[in-house]
Amino acid sequence: MPNIETITVYLLKESVESASDALRPSADTYSQHTVRAGETVGTVFVAEFDDKEPVWVRLLNPVTQPPVADHTSSTGALLVISAAGRWFALTFGHGRHLLDPQVYVRRFGLRVALNAADPTRLRGAQARSFNDYALHTNRQVSRLSGVEALELDLERDLVTSVSGAILDTSLGKRVEGRDSVTLTAELDVEGFAAACARLLTESERTTYQRHYPWIDRVEELTDADEIEGLELAAANALGELRFAEFDLFPPELVPEEIVQFRLYPGQGGLVVRL
């Protein structure tokens, strides 16, 4: 019997034609391996990321005898497989940094979670609301409950993530979804393709509309051309110091000590320092 495993799955856009299309353009140092996932042959890309000195070492070294010498390195893997006529990417460790953010379908995971999770056994949700300022909230209840326990503002909140127990246990035990799906289930590598096919089916259902009829009142823009146009407009307004025309904030919860983040309008880039 397979062990209980947790995997993170992205659905790639229909324009993706090969496993290498999933790679970030800047990913130039990696090893490539073939893996058999049941009847599907996938490709694993593995990379080691920057070797760096931890912050605590720099803090303690001046007052430590003998000096502390320690560096950390991180490794990530990106598994790209095909199932049900589509390409999927599974990330392990820091493998998400190998994945090109332009090639996966946004809100795929959220749609899966809304359809697959038992609406009476939700664990948490993330949401953004927009008034005079943007408010990003992360809500988690102490026991599995219905959506009312999360106290979402059904008129104004843009729900970006949902987690809970899965209604049909043949799919798995727990699910959390945003752009990607985090699935906890009895799994082994041979079952990855079948699991991806099931997740695709869940994403295409409209069952969620019965349980959350308000969920589509506020939707996140996902069309790449429209996003690029708005990013360029925001960059122009920033360059001309027209600050009142837009509100700029990170797309997810971040530590308070953040000092900069990046936007990528088109093929260019914009670094915002806070």
Query: Residue 46 half-sphere exposure, CB side, CA atoms within 13 Å?
Result: 7
CA distances from 245 to 224, 233, 268 (A): 21, 10, 22
| Single pTM value for the model | 0.80
Per-residue DSSP letter, 225: H
Distant-in-sequence, close-in-space partners of 145: CB < 8 Å, separation ≥ 6: 120, 121, 122
Q: What are phi and psi of 247, to 5 degrees?
A: -120, 125
Give the model's pLDDT for residue 251: 60
CA distances from 51 to 28, 47, 55, 139 (A): 16, 12, 13, 35
Give the model's pLDDT for residue 12: 97
Q: What is the pLDDT along the chain (274 residues), one digit of tens a residue?
A: 789 999 999 999 999 999 999 999 888 788 999 998 877 889 999 998 766 777 778 788 888 888 777 766 678 999 999 999 999 999 999 899 999 998 999 899 999 999 999 999 999 999 888 776 777 888 999 999 998 898 888 778 889 899 999 999 999 999 999 999 999 999 999 999 999 999 999 999 999 999 999 888 777 776 778 888 888 888 888 888 887 776 656 666 665 555 455 555 444 555 544 4
